[in-house]
Chain A
Amino acid sequence: MGRRDAVSVSLPVPGHAGYRPLTIDTLDQVRTVLKRAIDRLCSRWTPDAREDLVQNALLKLHQRASGEGIGTYQASYLYRVAHSIVIDEIRKQSRSPVTTSAELSPEQLAAEHDQRPEQWTAAADARDALRDCLRSLVETRRAALVLYLQGHSVPDAARLLGWPAKRTENCVYRGLADLRACLEGKGIDHVLV
């Protein structure tokens, strides 16, 4: 090997040839990963509610474990379980018979969001219009644009869609133009929430 000025090594990242997923097999480690993910997803929930979710996730893992103990997992699987537990809980609460956001008056909703009632109504109308306009877009533009609106970069959206970056970029920007035209057609020139 010849002389060189600098040498460096880096931590593994998924997709790199040297990447090997970290395995987790003790209850404490499993619990730590689950708790970290659930705390992050439900930061506004009470500590008790978050702890309940951690327990539910541990129970789910225990039920799936074939032998004694908690089992051996990759961290990615634990994050997947945590995500699933949280989303299921949100869906369960959305379906529960207690008062949902849809049943609250504009005054109550405005109070929840620290806004004036007319502000809340206007923002809700804008969001409805946004969904309507998204539905009206050409399917490919809708798919690319929804990823973009969710915070994916164009290259990331291209990878998720399995399209070339150029095609994805075109769909995003044409989708944005169509969306704007549609919203303006509905008399909405801004969509502040």
Chain B
Amino acid sequence: MSWYEQELKAAFAAGLEGPPGPDCPAPEVIWDALNLALPPRQRYRVILHTAACPHCAQAWQAAKMIADEAGLRPPAPDPAAPWWQRWLRAPVLVPALAGSAALLVALVWLGPREPGPLAPPVDSGVMRGHGDAPQLLTADGAVLAPGATLSWRDPTGASHHKIVLYSPDGERRLELPVSEPMVLDAEVVETFGPGATVLWYVVAIDGPNPGAESEVRTITLPGEP
């Protein structure tokens, strides 16, 4: 962004002279427009209104700030992604691919296999970023913010895994079966509370073999306690 564009943005955000007009939409309408809860035509009208009304522009920016910080708005699609990546991520295709993958897993699971000893998952920790350069954060004490992932390596390739999370006093405990791609449910934050420190480990499970457990790590959940 050029210096000139930065000046424009700052000038646009400044100044609230005069009272708001009678045609200003209610704050709830502005919030709903920003969060795509308003029909497109009405949303468009609110957007145009903010171009002419500094008060509603400020209300829009306030809504954007807290909605973004609270992670209420989904990240915008990446237009730079090649067509085949966008195709693979298409809403219709993802469940279809997940279903096919689940079927494949089931077939492999039911098929003949030679049981072997399981090795515990290793290198567990919190990973930040995706793609070519994911960064392994410290294994213990990292904040599991949105975008960060729990990560581990399984040297023996167990058929499935589960994550066990528990509070330091042992009073609260969650066991979540993991079969990729799986998302940690909001149940985790509900169970332990925002900002809580949680201990976790991974169990590798493979048919008749007993589960092999990784080392215990700690994470801090997002939010303020």
Contacts and interface: CB of A to CB of B under 8 A. Distances in A.
Given A1-B159, A9-B178, A130 B12 contact: yes
A80 B76 contact: no
A149 to B, nearest CB: 4
B58 A193 contact: no
A146 B108 contact: no
Contact of A79 (B72, B146, B189): B72
B104 to A, nearest CB: 9
Given A22-B186, A127-B15, A130-B11, A155 B57 contact: no
Contact of A84 (B27, B43, B152): B27
Interface string A149-193: 111111110111110010000000000100110000000001111
A141 B72 CA distance: 27
Interface residues of A, number: 80
B198 to A, nearest CB: 12
B8 interface: yes
Contact of B72 (A14, A94, A123): A14
Contacts of A143: 44, 47-48, 51
Interface in A75-91: 75-76, 79-80, 82-84, 86-88, 90-91
Contacts of B54: 131
Interface in B172-209: 178-180, 182-187, 189-190, 202
Given A151-B61, A190-B4, A9 B17 contact: no
A101 interface: yes
A160 B30 contact: no
A20 interface: yes
A150 B64 contact: yes
* Interface-centre pick from B24, B60, B109, B159 (highest chain A CB count, 10 A): B60
A1 B65 contact: no
A83 B66 contact: yes
A8 interface: yes
A57 interface: no
Interface in A124-147: 124, 126-127, 130-131, 134-135, 139, 142-143, 145-147
B174 to A, nearest CB: 13
A44 interface: no
A176 B5 CA distance: 8
B16 interface: yes
A160 B47 contact: yes
Given A14-B72, A22-B190, A151 B64 contact: yes
Given A83-B66, A154-B79, A193 B35 contact: no
Interface of A: 1-23, 32, 36-37, 40-41, 75-76, 79-80, 82-84, 86-88, 90-91, 94-95, 100-102, 123-124, 126-127, 130-131, 134-135, 139, 142-143, 145-147, 149-156, 158-162, 165, 176, 179-180, 190-193
> Which 4 pairs show the lowest CB-CB distances between chains A and B?
A3-B157, A15-B74, A18-B183, A87-B27
